[in-house]
Amino acid sequence: MYFDELNLNDNVLDALYDMHFDTCTPIQERCIPEILEGKDVLGVAQTGTGKTAAYLLPILSKIDDGGYPEDSINCIVMSPTRELAQQIDQAMQGFSYYLDGVSSIAVYGGNDGTRYDQELKSLSLGANVVIATPGRFISHMSLGNVDLSKVSFFVLDEADRMLDMGFSDDILKIAKKLPDTCQTIMFSATMPEKIEQLAKTLLKNPVEIKLAVSKPAEKIKQTAYVCYETQKMGVINDIFKAGNLNRVIIFSGSKQKVKQISGALLRHNINSGEMHSDLDQTQRDDMMFRFKSGQIDVLVATDILARGIDIDDITMVINYDVPKDVEDYVHRIGRTARADRNGCAITFVNENDIYYFKQIEKFLNKDIEKLALPEGLGDGPKYEIKKGEKRNGSKSRNDNRRNSTRNSKHKTKTEDKSNKTSILSGKSDANVEKTGDIKEKNNRRNNSKHDEKSKEKKQKEKKQETVKNNNTEQKDRTKKSEKNKKAARNNKSDKSETKSETQKNKEANKPKKKKRVNKPVTSHQEKVHKKSSKYAIPNDYPMPAKEESGIKSLLKKPLKWLKSLKK
């Protein structure tokens, strides 16, 4: 079906014409008419099938037709990762090229203050379409920067991925603030029970559009190496010796492995970079720019790049470890052989991942070619699942317990069977054995009863003995405590007597205090005479009288003058 046959806006069709988009994909053909009619939609299809255009084109055409409030948020698109949010924003800019009154903003974390100010302005002024990650959007909601009272469209892209990342509570929190008239659209690559429960809570009488998980493109050459974990880096070095370093992505399931692989490649002088969630947004943008522009030959990444990232000229994808889900495998190797190009997908299978890789082969209905390990690396594990082996390649504790119980039951059954065969060998012997068994049983019962009675008597006697022993111990303790008290009292009295005697002896031995004798008061001249130690002045010379000085002398002079006048 062509886009012209759908009831889309002319401005949207003009943008599609300029972008050379003519025909619809199956998911677009089935979803666009339902969204234009205003129905809730649940679409299940893998990435790369055109889901972004399936919900953006009808929403943009409806907003451009009018009837929606201006200067307010009309549509919210939730994305699990920043990279996917950026890609949706880029597609939005292309589709809305001829739409004058429609604006959009991508809201995601890891940015600087200027970017945050831009987000705040666009949210407060009311951007028509907001493409956001759940965590960043909730932070704006908590600060009161978002008004959700006039939202008309709520889209969840890659919903299964968001639930795997733990965003289910955030999505429900956002959905509670939306008006009841809001149209909800949900897209997912898989359909687990969690997605079904979420769809029941959010969607109202949805139209379910399910497409089977498509198989990888035929132009992808799929191969595998069955090797141990320690042999994987040797295989990578052998692959890159041939010079196949043009646009390669190596996928791994954990951030730590990504860092280790990238460090090992750099030590081997391979121009590589790493992509994982520990990098901030500027580092991610810089890494993607360097990889797209050809500055980096090999990019080691987690499953962040497995979905929604569109890079056309990737020649090789290496799965450093086997993904646990078939859909993840299809998404990973789907990064290569795009836009009618050829590609190569290589998977490293260790002894614990053989089960998962066989499940992938069952889904693809083909045996993937197993390549021989390079020389010097030794032999790898055999490509077979051991009996009794679990999915992870090791037995669990519950399995060991079950096996032990089964073995014990099996032993008892074999013993019973052997007894039965011996009994059936002769009737007379069987009858004799039966009578002997009955007598033995009766004797055992009588003996057991007698033993029980004797045990009860012994237990009673033991209890009585323990009670007597306890009573005697208590009596002994009380006697000892009384003796100790008496001894303590006697010690106190002895100490008091000794103290009194020692005090008397001390008082007798103390020296007597000397009585103070009052010395006679001497005159001023005698005092001065005693003080002069250096020059001895004889008593014949009279001492000069002490002159008065200061205020007293000044006051006495005028008084003498007044007395002379009276005379």
Whether the Cβ atoms of residue 209 and residue 43 lie closer than 8 Å to each other = yes
Closest CA to 334 of 251, 426, 435, 441: 251
Contacts for 549 with CB less than 8 Å, ≥ 6 apart: none
**What are phi and psi for residue 299, nearest 5 degrees?**
-120, 120
* Triad 358, 360, 366: Cα angle to 5°: 85
Q: Show pLDDT as tens, one digit a residue, over the chain (567 residues).
A: 899 999 999 999 999 999 999 999 999 999 999 999 999 999 988 766 788 999 999 999 999 998 899 889 999 999 998 888 998 999 999 999 999 889 999 999 887 788 889 999 999 888 999 999 999 999 999 999 999 999 999 999 988 888 888 899 999 999 999 999 999 999 987 777 888 899 999 999 999 998 876 677 778 899 999 999 999 999 999 998 877 677 899 999 889 999 999 999 999 888 999 998 888 878 888 998 899 888 999 999 998 787 766 677 888 999 999 998 887 898 888 888 776 678 899 999 999 999 999 999 998 899 999 999 998 899 999 998 865 554 444 444 344 444 544 555 444 555 454 444 444 444 434 443 444 455 455 556 555 656 666 677 777 777 777 777 777 777 777 777 777 777 777 666 655 556 566 666 655 555 555 555 555 545 544 444 444 444 445 554 455 555 555 565 656 555 555 666 655
Whether the Cβ atoms of residue 226 and residue 381 lie closer than 8 Å to each other = yes
Whether the Cβ atoms of residue 245 and residue 270 lie closer than 8 Å to each other = yes
Q: How far is CA 3 from the centre of its chain?
A: 44
SS (H, E, C) 483-517: HHHHHHHHHHHHHHHHHHHHHHHHHHHCCCCCCCC
Kind and range of the H or E run holding 130 = strand 129-132
The rounded distance, in Å, linking the Cα atoms of 465 and 459 is 10
**CA-based max dimension of the chain:** 178
The rounded distance, in Å, linking the Cα atoms of 538 and 337 is 135
Residue 515 burial (C-beta neighbours within 10 Å; 0-12, 13-18, 19+): exposed
Task: Give the sign of the dihedral formed by CA 452, CA 455, CA 461, CA 462.
Answer: negative
CA distances to 232, 419, 447, 456, 562 from 453, in Å: 73, 34, 10, 5, 139
